[in-house]
C-alpha cells in the first residue's frame, strides 16, 4: 500500500491529506476519517444480497497501515463508523481493535450510528454529537449555511468527475475544502461517490493510488 501525502494549512493548522481517504492532524496526533460503515456488507448478506467477504478486511487493513504510518494516538471518526444493527462485522472489528490497545477512539455520531451506548462502551468508543478542538468543530453532516465556525465533516461521500477524450469519464473520491468547511471522503471503498454535492467555491483534492491533485 503506497501512502501519498499533501500538507494543507487551515486556520494556521497543518493537516496532512492522504490518498487513502483520511487526514492526519499532527498537533493532536490524530487520524481523522469518516463513513467506514462497518456492518454494511454483513447487513446486505443477511438480507440475501451476496457480498464479498473481504470488503471490511480491506478497509481495516488500510486503516491499520495509516495508524502505523503516522504512529497515531487518536482515531477520530466523523460519523458513520457503523452502518446498521449489530452483526458479524462487529466481531471482526472488535478483534481488529485488540492490536491497538492504546488507541483512543472518538466517534462523532452519524445518521447510521444507531448502536446502543452499552455496545459502544464494549468497543471503548467515546461518542459525541459534535466535538470542538479549536480551531475546528467536528460534525457528521456539513452545515447548510455559511458560518464563522470551521467545520470538518463527512456524510456526503464527495467525489469528482474527470472527463477524458471522447466518452471517457472517471470518478474519483476527493476532499472538499471551502472557506468554512472541509468535507472528508468516505473511508470505506464500499460506498458510492457523490459528484453533485459540493460547497460553494470549494477546492477539491482528488486522489488515486499514485497521487493527490488539486482542482
Cα–Cα distance measured from residue 109 to residue 113, given in angstroms and rounded to the nearest whole number: 6
Query: What CATH number did the domain enclosing 94 receive?
Result: 3.60.21
Residue (of 28, 110, 128, 17) closest to 66 by Cα position? 17
Residue 156, φ and ψ in degrees, nearest 5: -90, -10
For 149-213, give the secondary structure using H, E and C: CEEEECCCCEEEEEECCCCCEEEEEEEEECCCEEECCECCCCCCCECCCCCCCCEEEEECCCCEE
Taking the alpha carbons at both ends of the chain, their separation in whole angstroms is 25
Question: How large is the average pLDDT for residues 68-88?
Answer: 86
Residue 104 CA, distance from chain mean position: 16
pTM of the model: 0.90
Angle at 179 between CA 199 and CA 213, to 5 degrees: 70
Residue 199 contacts by C-beta under 8 Å, 6 or more apart in sequence? 142, 176, 178, 181, 183
Residue 204 C-alpha cell reads as 477539491
Please count the structural domains in the chain: 1
For residue 82, what pLDDT is reported? 83
| Distance set, CA 123 to CA 48, 98, 118, 126, 132 (Å) | 28, 10, 9, 9, 23
The range of the structural domain enclosing residue 17 comes to: 5-214
pLDDT in tens, 28-59: 999 999 999 887 655 455 545 555 567 888 99
Q: What percent of the chain has pLDDT over 70?
A: 86
Q: Give the DSSP per-residue string, 48-110.
A: T----TTHHHHHHHHHHHHHHHHT-SEEEE-S-SB-SSS-HHHHHHHHHHTT-TT-EEEEE--
Q: Give me the residues paired with residue 8 across strands.
A: 15
Alpha carbons within 13 A on the beta-carbon side of 167: 0
Strand order in the sheet with 23-25: 5-10, 13-18, 23-25, 30-33, 74-77, 104-108, 125-128
pLDDT in tens, 137-181: 999 998 877 678 999 999 999 999 887 676 778 899 999 999 999
> Is residue 120 predicted with pLDDT exceeding 80?
no
Amino acid at each position: 500500500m503506497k501512502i501519498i501525502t499533501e500538507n494543507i494549512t487551515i486556520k494556521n493548522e497543518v493537516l496532512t491529506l492522504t490518498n487513502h481517504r483520511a487526514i492526519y492532524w499532527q498537533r493532536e496526533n490524530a487520524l481523522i476519517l469518516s463513513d467506514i460503515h462497518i456492518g454494511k456488507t454483513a447487513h446486505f448478506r443477511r438480507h440475501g444480497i451476496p457480498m464479498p467477504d473481504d470488503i471490511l478486511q480491506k478497509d481495516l487493513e488500510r486503516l491499520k497501515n495509516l495508524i502505523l504510518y503516522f504512529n497515531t494516538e487518536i482515531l477520530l471518526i466523523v460519523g458513520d463508523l457503523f452502518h446498521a444493527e449489530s452483526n458479524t462485522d462487529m466481531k471482526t472489528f472488535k478483534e481488529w481493535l485488540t492490536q491497538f490497545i492504546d488507541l483512543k477512539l472518538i466517534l462523532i455520531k452519524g445518521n447510521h450510528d444507531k448502536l446502543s451506548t452499552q455496545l459502544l462502551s464494549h468497543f471503548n468508543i467515546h461518542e459525541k454529537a459534535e466535538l470542538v478542538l479549536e480551531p475546528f468543530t467536528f460534525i457528521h453532516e456539513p452545515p447548510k449555511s455559511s458560518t464563522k465556525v470551521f467545520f470538518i465533516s463527512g456524510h456526503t461521500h464527495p467525489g469528482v468527475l474527470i472527463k477524458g477524450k471522447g466518452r471517457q469519464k472517471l470518478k474519483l473520491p476527493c476532499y472538499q475544502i471551502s472557506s468554512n468547511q472541509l468535507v472528508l471522503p468516505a473511508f470505506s471503498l464500499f460506498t458510492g461517490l457523490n459528484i453533485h454535492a459540493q460547497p460553494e467555491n470549494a477546492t477539491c483534492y482528488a486522489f488515486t493510488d499514485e497521487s493527490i491533485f488539486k482542482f
